[in-house]
Amino acid sequence: MFKSLLDIQNLSVDEIRLIMTKAEEMKKDIDGDTLDVAALRGKNIVTLFYENSTRTRTSFENAGKFLGANVTNISIANSSVQKGESLIDTGKTLDALSTHLIVIRHSASGAAKLLSDNVEAKVINAGDGMHEHPTQALLDMFTVLLHYRKFEGLKIAIFGDIKHSRVARSNIWGFSKMGAEVTVYGPSTLLPDGIDKMPCKVARSVQDAMKGADAVMGLRIQLERQQKGLFPSISEYKKYFAVTDAAIKSAKPNAIVMHPGPVNRNVEMTSDIIDGARSVINEQVSNGQAVRMALLKMMLAGA
Ligand code: CP
């Protein structure tokens, strides 16, 4: 098993398949109350989040604790980072404190790799800048797999701020590797340079993006982008790019609706869609628990 999980781009199809299999086993153990609650006894996990998080940090903490590991959450606001300690020095300090695995979120792309290259502990990237958020993509893929039992031939439509989204990047790499077709759609100012070199199509209209989609994924519009002039107003964004009841009519009748959260209700996605029958947003969160438990067990217990 790999020392660190830094991205999806460099995972092999077999590695992704293995993670899906282990996540499904873990989900069965959770649902059937047959978890090995001592699987990670004696293992020390640290969550080191330089950015805010609800889902990712909590599910990693739960994942470790449910499997018997010791989990320590470092609050950056109260840590020696505030005294100027560097990322590498923080990592080496955690090594000296017998840490087996660090889960890191950081605003800088590449921070997780920098840490992994300089510490003994294993590292999981919980989101680094605009680069990747691999465990989010793995839980998204797992959610789609549980619904369709396959990836090949599925159409995944991703809407919103692709440019700044590490979730979009990880999902484009992941779903396309597994044989699904990925289409992205958003304001041209919110598409990244080099999108034509990524394994996805760029749609020119909502209908074009939605057409034949099996899964429709909204992304959080980072409202601070509006201040930078990347789109004129929330109401115009909503009119042309939001996932709405009207827009989704072009998708397949049973298409599922996904969002990594947190969601801006009635901005990138309307409330009736978020809370509607197609929505699997809460399933994504629960599945994230199983995926992260599987990963911790694979990386720390050699399962
Ligand atoms: N999807 C996601 O990363 O959510 P959090 O920021 O709450 O962890």
CA-51 nearest atom, ligand 1: 6
Domains of the chain from N-terminus onward:
13-132+285-301 (3.40.50.1370), 134-281 (3.40.50.1370)
CA-261 nearest atom, ligand 1: 1
Q: Ligand 1 center to residue 52 CA distance, Å?
A: 8
Residue 12 pLDDT greater than 60, yes or no: yes
**pLDDT of 106:** 96
Burial of 109 (0-12, 13-18, 19+ CB in 10 A): middle
Backbone angles phi, psi at 233, to 5 degrees: -160, 160
Ligand 1 pocket check: which of 47, 55, 59, 166 to mutate, most ligand atoms within 8 Å of Cβ? 55
CA-133 nearest atom, ligand 1: 3
**pLDDT of 93:** 97
% pLDDT > 90, the chain: 92
Q: Ligand 1 center to residue 24 CA distance, Å?
A: 22
Residue 230 pLDDT greater than 90, yes or no: no
Query: Rounded to whole angstroms, how far apart are CA atoms 48 and 43?
Result: 16
For ligand 1, atom 6, the nearest C-alpha belongs to: 53
User: Measuring from each residue's beta carbon to the nearest atom of ligand 1, which residues come in under 6 Å?
Assistant: 53-56, 127, 136, 260-262
**pLDDT of 226:** 65
The candidate with the shortest Cα–Cα distance to 94, out of 61, 127, 119, 125, is 119
Q: Ligand 1 center to residue 242 CA distance, Å?
A: 20
**pLDDT of 284:** 98
Q: Ligand 1 center to residue 263 CA distance, Å?
A: 10
Residue 224 pLDDT greater than 80, yes or no: no
**pLDDT of 278:** 97
Contact by Cβ (8 Å): 93, 119: no
Q: Ligand 1 center to residue 148 CA distance, Å?
A: 24
Give the model confidence (pLDDT) of 149-192 as tens digits.
999 999 999 999 999 999 999 999 999 999 999 999 999 999 99
User: Using DSSP, how many helices (H) and how many strands (E) does the chain show?
Assistant: 11, 9
Give the model confidence (pLDDT) of 64-108 as tens digits.
999 999 999 998 988 999 999 999 999 999 999 999 999 999 999
Regarding pTM above 0.95, the answer is yes
Residue 245 pLDDT greater than 80, yes or no: yes
The average pLDDT across 279-283 equals: 98
**pLDDT of 78:** 87
**pLDDT of 223:** 73
CA angle in degrees (0–180, nearest 5) for 223-259-272: 90
Ligand 1 pocket check: which of 47, 50, 53 to mutate, most ligand atoms within 8 Å of Cβ? 53
% pLDDT > 70, the chain: 98
The candidate with the shortest Cα–Cα distance to 66, out of 90, 35, 96, is 35
CA-126 nearest atom, ligand 1: 3
pLDDT bucket at 303, cuts 50 / 70 / 90: low
Ligand 1 pocket check: which of 60, 130, 136, 280 to mutate, most ligand atoms within 8 Å of Cβ? 136
Q: Ligand 1 center to residue 238 CA distance, Å?
A: 22
**pLDDT of 216:** 98
